[in-house]
Amino acid sequence: MTNNSIRIPSGQMQDVLHKLFLKHGFSEVKARILAKVHTESTLDGVNSHGINRVPLFIEYVEKGVVKVDAEAELSETFGNIERWDGHLGPGIINALKCTNRAVELAKLLGMGMVALRNTNHWMRGGTYGWLAADAACISIIFTNTKANMPPWGGKDSRIGNNPFIVSIPREEGHHVVLDMAMSQFAFGKIHDYKLRGEKLPYPGGWDEHNELSDDPEKILANERGLPIGYWKGSALSMILDMLVTLLSAGDSTRTIAAKEFETGISQVYLCIYPEIFSDRNLQEKLLDEIVEYTHDVEPMHPGDKTYYPGERAWHNRARNLKEGIPVNKEVWQRVIKLAEA
């Protein structure tokens, strides 16, 4: 919470967004789903890919980049792998459909995969990890994006930050959900540091002299982000782009980067159904052991705390459900205006 934020009850946010999406041509059902997903991402504390992104999403809808009525369709089947075509429909609707389908395939066969091409930005990747985990599945899900980081050794941005999600179901919804982009810092986060007049805690991109920098202003001027682990994240980003492109027969970051807007992206949804391994209690025990071991560790510096992936989202959700969701005042005003326009 900063001075510039207010707390909005989640029910109110969902109602405003529902109205907004209806106004912009979405069906009753889809408007409701989109409102729910954007609200849930914000509830979990991921405002950057929840409420904050709504104006940009609406801009894409108005420009026809996102096709309001289009929906992903099965195009080909190969064993336990399916290829779907997103027909440039809304990324959230397509991603939910493909996650649910990968869950279905996993429950039939132990493991299933859906590769999706021609889709749009899915907002928060973690949404689909939580969904798969709620359906008792392990998931490995990833996407390509426009180019926003230089490949290691190169000068121009030619690789995407390609979010990578892994989720594992746990009892009472305390799932483990990793949702990480290949960039050390999201550009949204770098922008926040700039607004606060602070440096990044670690280098996060390249300045105009081709030097690594922790100065948000210099990094934003060039839009050349730093991959996690330098050459390692660069390589991982490349190979994720190769996987989504090959498996979906869709567009790669190269093709996406050549478009005016980030659209027609490619994604993979892989689900595994661990309950076919039968002993749910053993699974919980093994998982609890790892969570405790990594969690209950002496802090490196006083006040440090170690979290398991997804733990903070879950804490935020509980708190924000009770107290309302912290939202930037200007962002909320823009959303209200869009809903009333």
Q: Does 241 bind a copy of itself (CB under 8 A)?
A: yes
Site for a copy of itself in 119-138 (CB under 8 A): 138
Find the angle CA(177)-CA(39)-CA(11) to the nearest 5 degrees: 130
Among 236, 265, 325, 331, which residue sits at the site for a copy of itself (rule: CB under 8 A)?
A: 236
Q: Is 72 in contact with 116 (CB distance < 8 Å)?
A: yes
* Residue number, 5 or 283, with CB nearest to a copy of itself: 283
Q: Is 151 in contact with 241 (CB distance < 8 Å)?
A: no
Supply the minimum distance, in Å, between the C-beta of residue 185 and a copy of itself: 10
Supply the minimum distance, in Å, between the C-beta of residue 163 and a copy of itself: 11
* Residue number, 283 or 328, with CB nearest to a copy of itself: 283
Instruction: Using alpha carbons, select from 84, 103, 82, 94 the residue that is nearest to residue 122.
Output: 94
The token pair that represents 51 in the structure block: 């409420």
Q: Which residue has the tokens 């919980």?
A: 284
Helix axes 54-62, 329-340, angle to 10 degrees: 30
The reply to whether 87 belongs to the active site is no
Instruction: Using alpha carbons, select from 182, 178, 151, 183 the residue that is nearest to residue 166.
Output: 178
* Residue number, 44 or 241, with CB nearest to a copy of itself: 241
* Residue number, 68 or 178, with CB nearest to a copy of itself: 178
The order of strands in the sheet holding 176-180 is 73-78, 81-85, 111-119, 265-272, 138-143, 164-168, 176-180
The token pair that represents 123 in the structure block: 């907002």
Residue 61's H or E segment, with its range, is: helix 54-62
Q: Is 230 in contact with 244 (CB distance < 8 Å)?
A: no
**What is the rounded distance in angstroms from the CA atom of residue 263 to the CA atom of residue 146?**
8
Q: Residues in contact with a copy of itself, total (CB under 8 A)?
A: 77
* Residue number, 56 or 246, with CB nearest to a copy of itself: 246
Backbone angles phi, psi at 45, to 5 degrees: 95, 5
Among the residue ranges 2-10, 55-63, 223-231, 323-331, the one whose residues contact a copy of itself (CB under 8 A): 223-231
Contacts of 43 (CB under 8 A, 6+ apart): 10, 50, 316, 317, 320, 321, 325
Among 230, 329, 336, 340, which residue sits at the site for a copy of itself (rule: CB under 8 A)?
A: 230
Site for a copy of itself in 193-212 (CB under 8 A): 202, 206, 210
Q: Does 336 bind a copy of itself (CB under 8 A)?
A: no
- 295-334 footprint of a copy of itself as x/- string (CB under 8 A): x-xxxxx--xxxxxx-------------------------
* Residue number, 55 or 274, with CB nearest to a copy of itself: 274
Supply the minimum distance, in Å, between the C-beta of residue 308 and a copy of itself: 6
Per the residue annotation, which of 18, 38, 49, 121 is the catalytic one?
Answer: 49
Supply the minimum distance, in Å, between the C-beta of residue 228 and a copy of itself: 3
**What is the rounded distance in angstroms from the CA atom of residue 272 to the CA atom of residue 139?**
6
The token pair that represents 157 in the structure block: 């941005």
Q: Does 29 bind a copy of itself (CB under 8 A)?
A: no
Site for a copy of itself in 59-118 (CB under 8 A): 76, 78-81, 83, 108-111, 113
- 263-302 footprint of a copy of itself as x/- string (CB under 8 A): ---------xxx-xx-x--xx--xx-xx--xxx-xxxxx-
* Residue number, 87 or 107, with CB nearest to a copy of itself: 107
Site for a copy of itself in 140-169 (CB under 8 A): 140, 150-156, 158-159, 166, 168
Q: How far is CA 60 from CA 81, 145, 274, in A?
A: 31, 15, 38
Give the residue numbers marked as catalytic: 49
